Structures are given as C-alpha cells and as structure tokens.
Amino acid sequence: MGEVVKRAYKYRFHPSFEQAEQLNRTFGCVRLVYNRALEARTRAWAVDGRRTSYVQSSAWLTEWKRTDDLAFLNEVSSVPLQQTLRHLQGAFAAFWDKRTRYPRFKSKRKSRASAEYTRSAFRWRDGQLTLAKMDAPLAIVWSRPLPEGAQPSTVTVSRDAAGRWFVSLLVEDPTVAPLPPTHGVVGVDAGITSLVTLSTGEKVTNPRHERADRRKLAKAQRELSRKERGSNNRAKARVKVARIHARIADRRRDQLHKLSTRLVRENQTVVIEDLSVRNMLRNHRLARAISDAAWSDLRNMLEYKAAWYGRTVIAVDRWLPSSKTCSACGRVNTTLALGVRVWTCPGCDATHDRDANAARTILAAGLAER
C-alpha cells in the first residue's frame, strides 16, 4: 500500500464583516513580517556575509512584537506569521540551490493576499472550520465533499484581486490511488492555433479565453484609466477589471484540468517538450497568445497528476527539431519555413501535418529516453 496523497480542496467562503476585517489585518501583518525578515536577512548577508536561519528570523519576530511600533502584530494569530517565515526560508533554500531567483518583497496590490494556519490555529468540528482569533466558523460554500473522515492538517485563506475569498484545506485523500496500467502512450505538441496536437493526430482546439473577453477587458481598463488615483471610483473600477481577469483564468484552468486528467487517465506515458516559456514570452508578437495558452500550467498539472495515478511524464530536449524531423524516416528538413503547415519529406515522400508530425517525433524521442 503506497503513501496516502495529501491533496488541497479549495472552496469559496463568505466572511462576516468582523471576519473580513480580522483576515485583512492578518494579511497585512503576514506581508509586513515577510518583508521585514527579507530586509533583515539581506542586510545580514550584505554587511556580515552570513546566512540567516529560520530560527534567527523567528527570534526577530519575537523582538518586533515587543516594540511599540509593531505591537499590533499581537492582535493576529501568531501561526500565519511563523508560517510566512518558513515560506521565506524555503524561498532562500531554492535560491541557494539555484532553482529560482532571489526572494522578492511582497506588494500590497500585486502579491497574493493569503495566510496559512496549522492545526494549532484552527478548530475543525462537525464539518465546520473556525480560525484562531475568531468566534464563529467560516461560511464555506461546499461545492464538493471532502473525503470521508478527512481532517485538515493545514488551512490557507486567501483573497483575490476580484474580492473573492477562498479557503484551501490540505487533507489526506485515500481516493487518489494508482490507476490500472495501460499500454497507451502519447506525444504532445503545444501550439497556439491548436492548444495541443497529439501523436494520434487529434488536435485540441485552443479556446483563446483571453481573446473572447478582450473587448470587454479593454473597455474596463479604459474606464479604470479615467478614474482619479486614490478615489473610491478607481477602486471599484479596479475590481471590475480584476473580475474579468478572474473569469478568464477560471475558464482556462477548468479546461486545462479536464485535458490533463484525460491524458493521464488514457495513457501510461505522456511525452512533452521541455519548453522555456519565460524566454518565449520575449517575442512580443506572440506573448499574449502564449500566456493565454498557459503551457506551463498544463505541464504542471500533467506532472502532479501522473505522480498521483502511477503514470509517467517525459520531457524531451527543447532543442529537438520536432517540426522539421520526419516521423517516418527520421530525416531533418532544414529548409522548412515556419508558415508551412503541411510538408512532404524529401527522403521518403511521406506527407505530414506539421503539428501532428511534431507530436509523433516528440513521442519517439521520449520513448527512446526511457
């Protein structure tokens, strides 16, 4: 019997006025502690050349709470403040391992407003969740049931730019188990005209969610630009823009979840390209379309779902000339122009759809690496 998977279940909830005030205060304190600790750790490295541990930053937090200027930190639960220091420690560990860039300061408007509570900071009883420093449980909209007998180990509360409140419950999910083995294998070629093309020849249509709401979004952004900075009308206009962005993101995420789940369920091995999306976004003519396709999100979903269900995801070299390589004989057609969508191999006279051929080449390269 394998290890039980921990899975996060995310729900909307509607806080009371008092709960919203307490949570907003907590978000502000979390952001302040993170930024103060980052500043102090950066200074310690610049002045003394020493790395600072989580233990030292936790000691700083204790000292800050004793000062008159930061005494308000005692008004919120201490657990989210400790958790943000742990997240900062993780960010530094990733930087030292050269997996990401140096940690950045959290912005009030641009950064995600969230707070993480561990078991000591919330009460879970009879399907109701009550956070520390609160008298009443959260009014959660249970859009789907938790696994039977689930006991949350961590609770994360967040508020998005559109003003929507979410709570994410991390639980052990015994329903996630390896699927029966299958002989199915598939290569996936990411695109823009088609979201992906499979080695079977199937093309998954790109809904272009951002394009569908582009006129509505542009109108809302124009209205926002006309509002006086700092005014209530500008704040309302900003929320209106955020709601359109949220609707686009929700539809995109829903489609990617359905596609990734289907690919993982139907195939034992899924082969993809190791694309550098960040570098591709430098092409300003294609950046909007590439962002809307969300290839990185699709890859992430494929990888964690494959780990859940006992499947394999293989990423082949991004420099593989998949579109130019004949999937029938292996010859590389170096003269193939980007605009050519159907071509005939000079070596074996096989006629290829450009994207389907690329997907078959990616599949062959991935299977050769196994």
Q: In the prediction, which pLDDT does 103 show?
A: 95
> What average pLDDT is seen over the chain?
92
Name the H helices within 267-294: 277-280, 287-293
Write the pLDDT tens digit of every residue in 63-110. 999 999 999 999 999 999 999 999 999 999 999 999 999 999 999 888
Residue 330 φ/ψ region, left for φ over 0, alpha for ψ in the -120 to 50 degree band, beta for the rest: left
Q: Which is catalytic among the residues 116, 210, 273, 303? A: 273
Look at 117-131, 161-175, 265-279 and tell me which has the smallest mean pLDDT.
265-279
Quick one: pLDDT band at residue 279, thresholds 50, 70, 90? confident
Give the model's confidence band at 219: pLDDT under 50 very low, under 70 low, under 90 confident, else very high. very high
Q: What DSSP character marks residue 321?
A: -
pLDDT in tens, 296-314: 999 999 999 999 999 999 9
**Average confidence (pLDDT) over 180-192:** 93
Q: Which of 116, 210, 292, 355 is catalytic?
A: 355
Q: What class is the 178-206+255-370 domain? A: alpha beta
CB atoms within 10 A of CB 76: 21
**Structure confidence by residue, pLDDT tens digits, 347-367:** 899 999 999 999 999 999 999
Of 128-132, 147-151, 274-278, 320-324, the least confident: 274-278
Set 189, 210, 292, 303: catalytic member: 189
Q: Distance (Å, rounded) from C-alpha 85 to C-alpha 38? A: 9
- 273 an active-site residue? yes
Calculate the CA 295 to chain-centre distance.
11
Q: How confident is the model at residue 145 (pLDDT cuts 50, 70, 90)?
A: very high
Q: Where are the domains of the chain?
A: 5-173, 178-206+255-370
Identify the pLDDT of residue 186.
Answer: 96
Helices and strands of the chain, counted as H and E runs: 10, 13
The pLDDT assigned to 2 comes to: 57
Least confident window among 48-52, 134-138, 172-176, 330-334? 48-52
Q: What is the pTM of this model?
A: 0.87
Q: How confident is the model at residue 1 (pLDDT cuts 50, 70, 90)?
A: very low
349 is a catalytic site residue:
no
In percent, how much of the chain has pLDDT > 90? 76
- Give residue 4's pLDDT band: very low, low, confident or very high (50, 70, 90): confident
pLDDT of 288 reads: 81
Sheet containing 194-198, strands listed edge to edge, beginning at the edge strand earlier in sequence: 203-205, 194-198, 185-190, 269-273, 312-316
pLDDT per residue as tens digits for the range 101-143: 999 999 988 889 999 999 999 999 989 999 999 999 999 999 9
Beta bridge partners, 43, equal: none
Concerning whether 173 is annotated as a catalytic residue, the answer is: no
pLDDT at 260 over 80: yes
170: CB partners within 8 A, 6+ apart: 6, 7, 8, 152, 153, 154, 155, 156
